């Protein structure tokens, strides 16, 4: 396996794992509170819809000329990557609360319990659990499909990107089946930070190539781009953390207006 294939697999695996964790959290919460049959049916229906979308969109995207494709996809990945990286940096610096899968699970469970005993559907299932599981799988799965199709099309290796996505989903589902809980042990915040770095790096690489730039060493330049983005983001995290601490210290030491 070449270095570019390794990077493709890792990036697709981690990005898809994040989406799988979020979707699985919803499905597990519904299964625990409303019953597994309807939650599984909704999940299966969502997967079926996603399979049709990927089958329809894959060939269409792959037929686009590589240059414009890399420019458009690179720009999109850069936008998504910077968005993820920004949130991860703010979390790491203490400006934004860390995402807690246990809290997310509790919210989904509370919402399911508040809904009460929903009337049975035509096939004897729970429409609430079915619909919510379906929506969760489709919404998060669309991002997985985007990652698979775009990463794979750019690298001319959609099967490898799909394999990485399937591996990520299998790992997350296996963990969910084992712990049957909120997946709190999965370090999603760390994963999102790493995925933000990878998406930003790939977006920079592909966007520049699509615009006509040539990187030294071609794909090997990613070995320099990824660490550079990581070091730069960590530097910003450190600066933001120091600024937050200094601001808090200043506010605590400032005299109260109107005090003697």
Is 198 a residue whose pLDDT tops 90?
A: no
Q: What is the pLDDT of residues 10-52, one digit of tens each?
A: 888 988 888 888 788 788 877 877 778 888 999 999 888 878 8
Q: What is the pLDDT of residue 37?
A: 87
Q: What is the pLDDT of residue 102?
A: 61
Q: Report CA dihedral (188, 190, 192, 198) to the nearest 10 degrees.
A: -140
Q: What is the pLDDT of residue 104?
A: 65
Radius of gyration of the chain (CA): 22
Band (pLDDT 50/70/90 cuts) for residue 167 is: very high
What residues does each domain of the chain span?
A: 3-250
Q: What is the pLDDT of residue 144?
A: 82
Is 259 a residue whose pLDDT tops 50?
A: no
What is the model's pTM? 0.62
DSSP state of 99: P
Q: What is the pLDDT of residue 203?
A: 84
Separation of alpha carbons 110 and 56, rounded Å: 37
Q: What is the pLDDT of residue 101?
A: 58
- Mean pLDDT for 79-95 is 84
Is 67 a residue whose pLDDT tops 90?
A: no
- Mean pLDDT for 142-152 is 80
- Mean pLDDT for 64-85 is 78
- Mean pLDDT for 111-138 is 70
**Which H or E run contains 181?**
none
Three-state SS annotation for 128-175? HHHHHHHHHHHHHHHHHHHHHHHHHHHCCCHHHHHHHHHHHHHHHHHH
């Amino acid at each position: 396996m070449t270095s570019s294939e390794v990077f493709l697999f890792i990036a697709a695996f981690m990005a898809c794992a994040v989406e799988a964790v979020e979707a699985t959290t919803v499905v597990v919460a519904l299964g625990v509170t409303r019953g597994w049959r309807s939650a599984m049916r909704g999940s299966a229906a969502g997967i079926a819809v996603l399979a049709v979308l990927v089958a329809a969109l894959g060939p269409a995207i792959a037929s686009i000329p590589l240059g414009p494709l890399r420019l458009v996809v690179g720009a999109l990945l850069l936008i998504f990557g910077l968005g993820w990286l920004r949130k991860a940096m703010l979390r790491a610096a203490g400006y934004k609360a860390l995402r807690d899968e246990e809290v997310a699970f509790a919210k989904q469970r509370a919402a399911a319990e508040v809904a009460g005993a929903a009337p049975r559907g035509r096939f004897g299932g729970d429409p609430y659990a079915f619909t919510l599981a379906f929506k969760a799988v489709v919404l998060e799965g669309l991002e997985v499909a985007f990652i698979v199709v775009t990463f794979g099309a750019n690298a001319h290796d959609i099967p490898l990107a799909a394999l990485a996505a399937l591996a990520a989903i299998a790992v997350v589902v296996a963990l969910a089946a084992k712990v049957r809980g909120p997946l709190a042990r999965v370090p999603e915040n760390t994963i999102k930070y790493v995925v933000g770095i990878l998406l930003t790096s790939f977006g920079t690489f592909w966007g520049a190539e699509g615009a006509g730039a040539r990187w030294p060493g071609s794909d090997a330049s990613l070995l320099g781009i990824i660490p550079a983005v990581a070091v730069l983001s960590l530097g910003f995290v450190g600066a933001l953390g120091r600024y937050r601490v200094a601001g808090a210290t200043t506010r605590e030491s400032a005299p109260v207006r109107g005090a003697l």
